A and B are shown apart, each in its own frame.
Chain A
Amino acid sequence: MFGNYITIPHLLIFIPLIAGLLNFFIKSEAGAKLWSLLAAFATLGISILSLVYSKNNDLSGLTFNYEWLKFIGASFSVSLDGVGRLLTLLTAVSFPLIFIATYKNSYKNPASFYGLMLLAQAGLMGVFLASDALLFYFFWELALIPVYFLCSIWGGEKRIQATFKFFIYTFAGSLLMLIGIIYTYLQTAATPFSDHSFAITAFHSVLVSPAQQNWLFWLFFIAFAIKMPVFPFHTWQPDTYEQSPTAVTMLLSGVMVKMGLFGLIRWLLPMFPQAVMKFDTIVIILSITGVIYASLIAIKQDDLKRFAAYSSIAHIGLMCAAIFTTKTIALEGVMIQMFSHGINIIGLWIVIELIERNLGVRKISQLGGIAHKAPVLTIMLVVIALANIALPLTNAFVGEFMMFSGLFQYNIWITVFAGLSIILAAVYTLNMIQKVFYGEANTLTATIKEISLNEKLVLGLIVVMIFFAGVYPQPFFDLTKNTVSTLLTRFK
């Protein structure tokens, strides 16, 4: 009987969960680091296994269902479909990268730091795996709570303010979602054991009137919109990214923002298709406004972390808009882009982290001429930056191309407006490269050292992933093909 509990979805959740809890008891710093790195690699191994294991039965996915709180119709049920595998893979890939890139950083109370990081990973995995609304909500919170502590204890000078803002925003979102979940739950059909059900199938087939859909839609949407974030719910993000320790920022921007996008795809769109069709234009216009708005603001940022935050807001906004076009080509683009964005933004953070660790500053105006002393770092950054602006043959091109293509089929003029971001992205990215890496070195930047071997390795790995997905993106499409077609049957 125990064999049934040790399956891929379970392992993905329980390895980080148990390893994270054990981590709190590890006394030495080196031990905590090593332990969490091992756990992260174990999770990665399982995740890779999930790709191989279920190649042939993609349709069914990996679904496991255990009764839990039977009397209210909730169960501990997890499943791994295409998009689930994609995002658990992203989560599993991100953590080793984050741990290795920040291996040299030392934190006070490392046992708690790494323990919380792994708990957040377990929460993320749960979010991407849950096929029960209550479980989804539980993991959603499990992913967020460690992050509050990570920011507020290990963050920068203004960490309390930033965390507070982050907390208020996401707490408000979670509350709205909880109300939405409970209300929807009360509308679901009865099961043999309970009056209602939290199962995803029950939620997807829930019967709610268009009028109810109209406000339920916004309860869920705002929760997800804050998480992504979509304009104008975004102002927590630059502050939080700026104040968090970089490892946490990587976690937030690389993986956690995908919770919002995933929530749309897995829950919101299938639950309320009519409301989605009704509010699509509003959401798309908000998202695209955010894309241009954030791109323009990114030009003016002096802090590299805020720069990356606004650039990320612009990219996420496009993905949100693409989802709401409900066009096949756009959804296919979103799938690959969710993964690519995670890899690229983590790469960008690693470069920022290396500069800050090396020089003690991350203000663009205080930097310059780094390319002389650290050519390898520069080359890596340039590749990552070019991926960030979706140059062909890098991973972001295909996704962005397909999302824009879908947006074009939705509305030409919105696409033309959104297309300005293609130009603006080049403006802010090249400005940043020029001011930070080119030109003459100043007295500070002349002291920068070339990156070490393991840093080269991590960045090299990211560069390899960038080119692999850029030259041969097909595996990503194969992985998520069924998710897209199943989802869109509701919109035909």
Chain B
Amino acid sequence: MNNVLQIVWLIPVLPLIGFLINGLGRKNLSKTFSGFIGSGVILVSFILSCWVFIQVKNGNTHVAHYYDFINTLSLKIGMDFQIDQLSSLFLLIITGVGFLIHVYSTSYMHDEEPKDFAKYFAYLNLFIFSMLLLVMGGNFIIMFIGWEGVGLCSYLLIGFWFKNNNYNDAAKKAFIMNRIGDLGFLLAVFWLIAKTNTTDFHQIFSLVADTQKNPLSTFDITGITLLLFVGATGKSAQIPLYTWLPDAMAGPTPVSALIHAATMVTAGIYMIARSNILFSMAPFTQSVIAVIGLATAILAATIALKQNDIKKVLAYSTVSQLGYMFLGLGVGAYTGAVFHVMTHAFFKALLFLGAGSVIHAMGGEQDMRNMGGLKKYMSITHITFLLGCLAIAGMPPFSGFFSKDEILGEAFKQNPLYWGIAVIGALMTAFYMFRLYAMTFLGKFRGTHEQEHHLHESPAAITFPLIVLAILAVVGGWVGIPEIFMHGGHRLEAFLEPVFAPSNDIVAKHHLEHSTEYMLMGISVGGALIALIYAWSKFSKYEKTTAEETGIGKILSNKWYVDELYDAVIVKPRQSVAAFLNNVVEKKGIDGFVNGIGKGVNYSSRQIRLLQSGQVGNYVLLMVIGILVLFIIQFFL
């Protein structure tokens, strides 16, 4: 066994140490020190992750058992970390992109008080810690620890500015929506324990792969995977549990980048990819995932068309892109989904951090209607942002093209209708991203004079991460070049092969004619290009209007009224039920009944009480002494 795989525990423990230092010392630490510790521990984790990645690439995979978390008659759960191709890739994404976000934050959060600054970095480190636990866990329980942990951290960070109750509401919404999903996850785990008596990945996956010994019926597997998927819809913001993610914009912008790119929302994808064998054995669940993913991709894309808050557009684009990843998982394109997680982490982190840079320059303004023409004030932000837009729009040869194309191709093989709808979504993506780009960077500046005076390029701690991420957003897709362009070009697929091999044995692979593949690619890229140019030309001449949206535009800008629907169907009824139980059943019903009896007894007792007087303490004392005397007599006689 190679040494480096024995110290993998350091990868999550370092951020935990950073959390403790910044959390406990927040009153005494300078901002420089807090930022240094916060970023430094992630950098070391990243270096270790690289090392681990190289080891894994050389074929060393490893499950480390540290101690027995639970070891009882009924259940055995180890504190186990699993290092394989899938987890090592995620380690790189989480610590790598995470590190850049930390560096960026040292500048972005600089106006905070030192103790809040330290608290911010403590939370950020805790977030990374939880996410690392999630991907490194060798069983469903350790994964779940991280799973709930990221939910908690998002709660803490979204509500970071806790004086504002709107932010607190958003934080609470995120946590509760996640908890709904978590219940699904937990039920799936209970089901697994009931049937297999273990939560260990290796044991479960090898059990089900063995047709002789498989203790799970098709019904079990379908039920378990559906429940796991419910968990994924919460964490990865899919229909019906997606509405927390756009509200999560209340947090500081780098936090949005962290939630949307490196951590949290990718958890659902990771979990399904990790349990791919179970999902491949449940075709029904796969269809559900594909349909929900596709529906989410389209729904979120339509909403993004009409948002004017720069962060909101990006938030809905995340929901939409996650939908594509789930489409990929649903059609069995596990590699494609993981590939898209990776490229998306690069370009979405870039876009969010770019948006943060813009907001910073605009003095906190987030409404794109008040922006415009920023191109000439902030060239690095502008160029990197443009590259990010091209990547997310799926323009070749930028990273998003390769990963999205792979998912679309696999979707076509499964069902051409999936492909057709997904392409429409891709056109919308290109449209709203370039609407955002044009409204922000092109045309005339539409803000106040004061804002215009203040416009500036951001400092190096902000532009450095942008540049690194921009490079990754451009070249990140080149690890997965499709077979038709280059033989053996899909190095990611080859790397992840061992993880997805059991599923590949089950799912029959169709192959497309090369001509068909070229045609599909041509249609999606061509369509996106047209949408892009249309948005560019239309919104670079954007003028502020006061006209209200009407018709479908109004519905879209109000996000299909889904929040209002949930409020009316779930939140309000729950409150009325609670009020009814409290005011009627509890007070008038049960307690009223008891008090009725009580009153009767009370009356008679009042008469008796007249007989008593004096110190109660003395009564008790006498009573106990009496009993004690009885004891002593019995002992010694």
B621 touches A332 (CB 8 A): no
Q: Is the CB of A473 within 8 A of B70?
A: yes
Chain B residue nearest to A298 (CB atoms) is B578
A76 and B631 within 8 A (CB): yes
Known contacts A422-B186, A431-B172: does B598 contact A164 (CB below 8 Å)? Answer: yes
Most A-side CB within 10 Å, residue of B182, B582, B597: B582
Type the 1/0 row for A450-477, where 1 means its CB is closer than 8 Å to any CB of B: 0000000000000000000000111001
Task: For B67, list chain A residues within 8 Å (CB).
Answer: 472, 474
Q: Is A427 part of the contact surface with B, judged by Cβ < 8 Å?
A: yes
Q: Which residues of A lie under 8 Å from residue B149 when comparing CB positions? A: 391-393
For the complex, is A409 an interface residue (Cβ under 8 Å from B)?
Answer: yes
Taking the closest CB of chain B, its distance from the CB of A420, in whole angstroms, is 8
Stretch touching chain A among B48-56, B99-107, B159-167: B159-167
Q: Taking A119-B620, A402-B75, A422-B183 as contacts, is the C-beta distance between A329 and B193 under 8 angstroms?
A: yes
Residue of A nearest to B181 (CB): A423
* A419/B582 in contact, CB under 8 A: no
CA distance A485 to B582 in the complex (A): 40
Complex Cα–Cα for A136 and B311 (A): 65
Instruction: Kindly supply a per-residue 1/0 record for chain A positions 374-417, scoring 1 wherever the CB is within 8 Å of any chain B CB and 0 otherwise.
Output: 00000000000010000111000010011011001100000110
Given contacts A398-B70, A404-B190, A474-B71, contact A24 B575 (CB under 8 A): no
Interface string of A471-492 (1 = CB under 8 A from B): 0111001000100110000000
Chain B window 68-96, contacts with chain A (Cβ cutoff 8 Å), 1 for yes, 0 for no = 11111111000000000000000000000
Is B74 a contact of A328 with CB atoms below 8 Å?
Answer: yes
0 or 1 for each of B609-637: is its CB under 8 Å from A? (1 = yes) = 00000011100110111011001001100
Q: Which of A152, A392, A409, A423 contacts B176 (CB 8 A)?
A: A423
- Bin chain A's interface residue count: 35 or more
* Complex interface: chain A residues within 8 A of B163 (CB): 369, 372, 438-440
Q: A69 — which chain B residues lie within 8 A by C-beta?
A: 634
> Nearest chain B CB to A414's CB is how many angstroms away?
12
B190 touches A391 (CB 8 A): no
Chain A residue contacts of B69, Cβ below 8 A: 398, 472-474
Smallest CB separation, B621 vs chain A (Å): 5
CB within 8 Å of B: which A285-320 residues: 293, 296-297, 299-301
Q: How far is the CA of A116 from the CA of B615 in the complex (A)?
A: 13
Chain B positions within 8 Å of A372 at CB level: 163
Residues of A within 8 A of B579 (CB): 300
The CA of A112 and the CA of B616, in the complex, are separated in Å by 9
Taken together as a complex, chains A and B put the C-alpha atoms of A293 and B581 apart, in Å, by 7
User: Known contacts A138-B627, A485-B73: does B187 contact A299 (CB below 8 Å)?
Assistant: no
Whole-angstrom CA separation of A431 from B621 in the bound complex: 45
Residues of B close to A164: CB separation below 8 A: 598, 602, 605
Q: Is the CB of B617 within 8 A of A112?
A: yes
Q: Note all chain A residues with C-beta closer than 8 A to B176.
A: 423, 426-427, 430
Give the residues in chain A near B145, CB-CB below 8 Å: 392-393
Of B71, B164, B168, B634, which contacts A477 at CB under 8 A?
B71
Per-position contact with B for A115-134: 1 when CB-CB < 8 Å, else 0? 11001000000000000000
Chain B CB within 10 Å — which of A67, A423, A437 has the most? Answer: A423
A149 at the interface (CB under 8 A from B): yes
A207 at the interface (CB under 8 A from B): no
**Is the CB–CB distance between A165 and B71 below 8 Å?**
no
Residues of B within 8 A of A187 (CB): none
Flag whether B493 is at the interface (Cβ < 8 A).
no
Asked whether, in the complex, the Cβ of A235 is within 8 Å of the Cβ of B74, the reply is no
Q: Given A119-B624, A165-B594, A235-B591: A329 and B75 within 8 A (CB)?
A: yes
List the count of A-B residue pairs having beta carbons below 8 Å apart: 180
Q: How far is the CA of A419 from the CA of B185 in the complex (A)?
A: 11
- Which B550-585 residues have C-beta < 8 A from chain A? 574-575, 577-579, 581-583, 585
CB-CB contacts below 8 Å: A64-109 with B = 66-69, 76, 109
Within 8 Å CB of B590, what residues of A? 232, 234-235
Interface assignment of A21: CB less than 8 Å from any CB of chain B: yes
User: In the assembled complex, which residues on chain A have CB atoms less than 8 Å from the CB atom of B582?
Assistant: 296-297, 300-301
Find out whether the CB atom of A434 lies under 8 angstroms from the CB atom of B165: yes
Pick the residue among A152, A296, A386 that contacts B577 (CB under 8 A).
Answer: A296
What chain B residues lie within 8 Å of A438 (beta carbons)? 159, 162-163, 165, 168
Query: B247: CB under 8 A from chain A?
Result: no
Assembly CA distance A419 to B191 (angstroms): 13
Known contacts A21-B625, A369-B163: does B148 contact A66 (CB below 8 Å)?
no
Contact between A165 and B74 (Cβ–Cβ < 8 Å)?
A: no
- Measured between beta carbons, the chain B residues less than 8 angstroms from A38 are none
Is residue A26 within 8 Å, beta carbon to beta carbon, of the partner chain? no
Whether B339 sits at the interface, judged by CB under 8 Å, is no
Measured between alpha carbons, how far is A327 from B193 in the docked complex, in Å?
A: 13
Whole-angstrom distance between the alpha carbons of A309 and B525 in the complex? 61
Contacts of B190 in A (CB 8 A): 404-405, 408-409, 415
CA–CA, A169 to B631, complex, Å?
Answer: 29
Which residues in A have their C-beta under 8 angstroms from that of B194? 405, 408-409
Q: Is the CB of A426 within 8 A of B175?
A: yes
If A472-B67, A474-B71 touch, does A21 touch B598 (CB 8 Å cutoff)? no
**A-chain residues with CB within 8 Å of residue B456 when the two chains form the complex:** none
Task: Output the least CB separation between A364 and chain B (Å).
Answer: 14
Q: Is the CB of B621 within 8 A of A423?
A: no
In chain A, residues 33-76, which have Cβ atoms closer than 8 Å to a Cβ of chain B?
A: 66-69, 76
Given contacts A69-B634, A439-B162, A477-B70, contact A149 B193 (CB under 8 A): no
Q: Mark B449-465, 1 if CB is under 8 A from A, else 0.
A: 00000000000000000
A176 within 8 A of B: no
Please indicate the chain B residues that have their CB under 8 angstroms from the CB of A297 in the complex.
578, 581-582, 586
- Are the C-beta atoms of A76 and B598 separated by less than 8 Å? no
- Asked whether A481 lies within 8 Å of B73 as measured between CB atoms, the reply is yes
Q: Considering only CB atoms, which chain B residue lies closest to A109 in the complex?
A: B617
The answer to whether the Cβ of B601 comes within 8 Å of any Cβ in the partner chain is yes
Among A76, A408, A473, the residue within 8 A (CB) of B191 is A408
Asked if A392 contacts B586 (CB within 8 A), the reply is no
**A467 CB, nearest partner CB in chain B, Å:** 11
Q: Is A142 an interface residue (CB 8 A)?
A: yes
Task: Decide yes or no whether B152 CB sits under 8 A from chain A.
Answer: yes
> Chain B contacts of A392 at CB under 8 A?
141, 144-145, 148-149
Known: A112-B616, A300-B578, A415-B190. 4 other contacts (CB 8 A): A112-B617, A293-B581, A332-B75, A398-B69
Between A and B, 8 residue pairs with Cβ closer than 8 Å are: A112-B616, A235-B590, A297-B582, A405-B190, A422-B179, A438-B162, A438-B163, A439-B165
> A residues touching B (Cβ–Cβ < 8 Å)?
5, 17, 21, 24, 66-69, 76, 109, 111-112, 115-116, 119, 138, 142, 145-146, 149, 152-153, 164-165, 168-169, 232, 234-236, 293, 296-297, 299-301, 327-329, 332, 369, 371-372, 386, 391-393, 398, 401-402, 404-405, 408-409, 415-416, 419-420, 422-423, 426-427, 430-431, 434, 437-440, 472-474, 477, 481, 484-485
